[in-house]
């Protein structure tokens, strides 16, 4: 369907401090969803078909009320039909795939920690927290998949809970990945000093700090989030109950918070730590130096590829939302960002869901545990898997005892 804006119909929509009492749906009472610039994993608004759009114009153009308006802000209204149709088909599939991969992969890591490892090492404590973060995040995906297909059918309480779980899990997953990278940096580059400080208490305190930051960054969801009925979109799970200006301010805070705290800072930390680790490894006589460097390169490249596109889109949307002149961009430009957000966000989600598996499968110790687990469940594999080399490596490995050693 063609993109249609108020301006194309020679009509300008202005939000006003004085509402027309004679209208049932006034400029002051426009649903917040019309101005939504959400980071949340569901539909992009506003969705209007031709009939609803014509009724909308008729509502604002056919009145005998002569109440004067205080012109505050011109709001271009673009149809999001194509974007929402794409999201309704694309997102439920990806959410389902991410959900299954997350619960299978993270469940496997948790099972191996439970059966073969102990929680008396710093690395394994961080890894188990990362697994729980991803479980929490993935648990929200079936709800968002349903939301894309239909509407929000779970009520206000679950709207708040699921939104909070999504953000807490998402943020804590990023921070625990960063913390694990920093811990690896300490263990390799500052091994002597780290041996004294890398104790269980250090891991527990660091984990509490990460969870506290993640919860604090997600408090907005508990305060603003609610389920309400939109005249054209049905029941929504969106920020509501506050002035539009307040909603926009909070959305901008969320955008810049995501980009600066949960992308730029982790990216700088990951790059610095792994470059330092590489320099240190190059200066040693480590037998498998090349393998370790290849793994480091793979981790950095994967992190960059998965996270950078999504956060660039976030930054562009934040700049657009905070600049009044850029808010008047064409509907095609806005639609392009919406499509890009859908695709890049799911790539970032995929990295969050598989990160524990990605970090642990590269480690020889995890590979050894995995083979032992498979042999126990499937004895027929004994012909193809030899444990001789694994047991030799296990007994010869020194500290730190971690599930994702090089």
For the stretch 139-154, pLDDT in tens is 999 999 999 888 899 9
Q: d(Cα 211, Cα 176) in Å, to the nearest integer?
A: 9
d(CA 391, CA 104): 26
pLDDT at 262 over 90: yes
The per-residue pLDDT for 117 is 80
Residue 170 contacts residue 137 (beta carbons within 8 Å): yes
Sign for the pseudo-dihedral over CA of 89, 94, 95, 101: positive
The pTM of this model reads 0.76
Give the pLDDT confidence score for residue 392 in this predicted structure: 45
Instruction: Decide which of 1.20.1070.10, 3.40.50.2300, 3.40.50.300, 3.40.190.80 is the CATH code for 81-362.
Output: 1.20.1070.10
The domain limits of the chain are 81-362, 363-406
Distance CA 361, CA 349 (A): 19
| Residues 291-320 pLDDT 10s | 777 777 787 888 888 889 999 999 988 888
Tokens 């099972």, located at residue: 111
Using a pLDDT cut of 70, give the percent of the chain over it.
68
Of residues 112 and 40, more confidently modeled: 112
Average of per-residue pLDDT values in the chain? 75
Q: Please give the Cα distance from 134 to 187 (Å, whole number).
A: 25
Q: Are 77 and 36 in contact (CB under 8 A)?
A: no
The two three-digit tokens of residue 54, written as one number? 């014509």
Neighbouring residues of 121: CB distance < 8 A, sequence distance ≥ 6 = 400, 401, 402
Rounded average pLDDT over 44-48: 47
Q: Which of 166, 181, 182, 168 is nearest to 210 (CA)?
A: 168
Rounded Cα gap, residues 106 and 114, in angstroms: 12
Any idea which of 60-69, 252-261, 277-286 has the lowest mean pLDDT? 60-69
3-class secondary structure for 368-388? HHHHHHHHHHCHHHHHCCCCH
Q: Regarding predicted confidence, which is higher, 373 or 189?
A: 189
Inform me whether the pLDDT recorded for 375 exceeds 80.
no
Q: Tell me, letter by letter, the H, E, C secondary structure of 138-156.
A: HCCHHHHHHHHHCCCCCHH
Could you identify the residue written with the tokens 């439920």?
A: 92
């Amino acid at each position: 369907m063609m993109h249609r804006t108020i301006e194309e119909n020679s009509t300008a929509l202005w939000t006003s401090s004085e509402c027309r009492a004679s209208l049932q749906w006034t400029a002051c009472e426009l649903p917040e969803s019309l101005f939504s610039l959400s980071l949340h994993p569901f539909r992009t608004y506003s969705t209007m078909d031709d009939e609803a759009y014509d009724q909308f114009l008729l509502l604002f153009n056919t009145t005998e009320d002569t109440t004067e308006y205080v012109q505050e802000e011109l709001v271009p209204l673009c149809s999001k039909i194509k974007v929402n149709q794409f999201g309704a088909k694309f997102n439920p599939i990806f959410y389902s795939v991410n959900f299954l991969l997350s619960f299978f992969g993270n469940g496997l890591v948790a099972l191996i920690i439970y059966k073969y490892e102990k929680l008396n090492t710093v690395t394994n404590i961080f890894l188990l927290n990362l697994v729980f973060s991803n479980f929490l995040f993935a648990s929200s995906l079936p709800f968002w998949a349903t939301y894309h297909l239909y509407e929000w059918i779970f009520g206000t309480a679950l709207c708040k809970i699921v939104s909070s779980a999504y953000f807490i899990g998402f943020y804590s997953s990023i921070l625990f990945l960063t913390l694990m990278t920093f811990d690896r940096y300490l263990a390799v580059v500052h091994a002597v000093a780290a041996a004294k400080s890398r104790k269980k208490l250090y891991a527990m305190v660091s984990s509490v700090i990460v969870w506290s930051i993640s919860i604090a960054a997600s408090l907005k969801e508990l305060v603003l989030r609610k389920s309400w009925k939109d005249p054209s979109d049905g029941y929504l799970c969106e920020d509501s109950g506050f002035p539009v200006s307040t909603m926009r301010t909070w959305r901008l805070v969320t955008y810049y918070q995501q980009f600066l705290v949960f992308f730029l800072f982790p990216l700088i930390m990951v790059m610095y730590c792994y470059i330092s680790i590489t320099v240190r490894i190059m200066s040693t006589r480590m037998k498998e130096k090349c393998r370790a460097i290849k793994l480091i390169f793979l981790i950095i490249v994967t992190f960059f590829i998965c996270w950078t596109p999504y956060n660039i889109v976030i930054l562009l949307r934040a700049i657009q939302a905070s600049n009044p002149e850029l808010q008047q961009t064409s509907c095609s430009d806005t639609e392009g960002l919406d499509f890009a957000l859908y695709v890049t966000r799911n790539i970032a989600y995929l990295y969050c869901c598989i990160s524990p598996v990605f970090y642990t499968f590269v480690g020889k110790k995890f590979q050894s545990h995995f083979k032992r687990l498979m042999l126990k469940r499937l004895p027929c594999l004994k012909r193809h898997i030899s444990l001789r080399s694994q047991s030799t490596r296990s007994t010869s490995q020194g500290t730190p005892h971690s599930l994702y050693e090089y």
